[in-house]
Amino acid sequence: MPAVTAETETRERIGVLLTNLGTPDSCAPGDVRRYLREFLSDRRVVGLPRILWLPLLHGVVLNTRPRKSANAYAKIWRDDGSPLLVFSRMQQRKLQRRFDESAVVVELGMRYGNPSIAAALEKLHAAGARKVLVLPLYPQYCSATTASTFDALGAAFARRWHLPALRFVDHYHDHPKYIAALARSVRAHNSDGVLVMSFHGIPEAFADAGDPYPAQCKTTARLLADELKLADDEWRLSFQSRFGPARWLQPGTEETLAALAQDGVQSVRVICPGFSADCLETLEEIAIGGRETFLQAGGRHFQYIPCMNDEDAHIDALQEIIRANLGDWLAPA
């Protein structure tokens, strides 16, 4: 832990910690394996009893899945690195510039992989942040993402003597500026066709246990459809990224795209409103895999609408969310 000096004690700042899921350090199988080991060891992600899951994870999954996942990452990897990390850094830097005239410092931490949440908290501490607002970049609350972020914060703080004052944003799924930014992104692509809103899936058992995620996804989808003035037959909600044999939220995105094509729909456009930055699940699973599914089922025109990434309207929305939650921590303008 950085030493607390007289300078940092007299120059206290407000920290904003942006978090996202994470990414391997590279698309090499070894790096992917290390990332998957951390990710799939999280009890929030895989809720099976450890005595059943860990032998399966280390004996089967980590010996088969990393190479397949590495091939998928290789399809979308950029010259400057992982898309998720690149776009998240862009968001951090733009937000930092928005707060350059105040005592706010913005850092980025990933729940799994690098830069870690613990490392980002150390940077904030070294910068003099004694009050920290945590903004997980998941618009909809989910135990496997948002709550897991809080777990990581607790683990990092468990090693500290001096804890900062803490505020935590648990969702912004219905924030007017977030919805308006999504709608602006759809309009900017000026395309026709049924709009498929694809959210990351979770096992139905999580929802049955009380996770509000599916309800918040439905609210986001309805608000976006209303903002775009879409009729009910002009849009669909679906869930992607299923893993394992458990029953997951329905309907699935792959099945939805195939069914639309088989029903004679010639054009679709797909947006992923639960993702704040493009990543493997959007660029490989939807932009590549979803396209193949729709065209092979008989569709003709497929458009993937990218995540909002560092678009100005998105940064505007995040800035407003941050300012509202900082509240009285910010000096009066």
Where b means 16+ CB within 10 Å and e means fewer, 263-290 reads eebebbbbbbbbbbbbbbbbbbbbbebb
Long-range residue pairs from 305-308, CB within 8 A, at least 24 positions apart, any chain:
305/185, 305/186, 305/189, 305/191, 305/269, 305/270, 305/271, 306/185, 306/278, 306/282, 307/87, 307/272, 307/275, 307/276, 307/277, 307/278, 307/279, 307/282, 308/181, 308/182, 308/185, 308/276
Distance, C-alpha 27 to centroid of its chain: 19
195 Rama sector, left if φ>0, alpha if ψ -120 to 50, beta otherwise? beta
**Is the pLDDT at 8 greater than 80, yes or no?**
no
Domain 6-173+313-329 indexed as CATH 3.40.1350.10 = no
**Is the pLDDT at 113 greater than 70, yes or no?**
yes
**Is the pLDDT at 159 greater than 90, yes or no?**
no
- Indicate the range of 10-14, 123-127, 199-203, 234-238 predicted with least confidence: 10-14
Question: What are 256-281's pLDDT values in tens digits?
Answer: 999 999 999 999 999 999 999 999 99
Q: Structurally, what CATH architecture does the domain formed by 176-305 represent?
A: 3-Layer(aba) Sandwich (3.40)
Q: pLDDT value at position 2?
A: 45
- For the residues 48-75, what does the mean pLDDT come to? 95
Q: Give 235's strand partners.
A: 195
The pLDDT-based confidence of 11 (bands split at 50, 70, 90) is low
State the pairing for strand pair 13-23/301-305.
unpaired
- For the residues 275-291, what does the mean pLDDT come to? 98
**Is the pLDDT at 1 greater than 50, yes or no?**
no
- For the residues 210-214, what does the mean pLDDT come to? 98
Question: What are 182-203's pLDDT values in tens digits?
Answer: 999 999 998 899 999 999 999 9
Q: pLDDT value at position 312?
A: 98
The pLDDT-based confidence of 303 (bands split at 50, 70, 90) is very high
Residue ranges, CATH 3.40.50.1400, the chain: 6-173+313-329, 176-305
Q: pLDDT value at position 130?
A: 95
Query: Is 117 within 8 Å of 149 (Cβ atoms)?
Result: yes
DSSP codes, 143-205: IIIIIHHHHHHHHHHTT-SSPPEEEE----TT-HHHHHHHHHHHHHT---SEEEEEEE--BHH
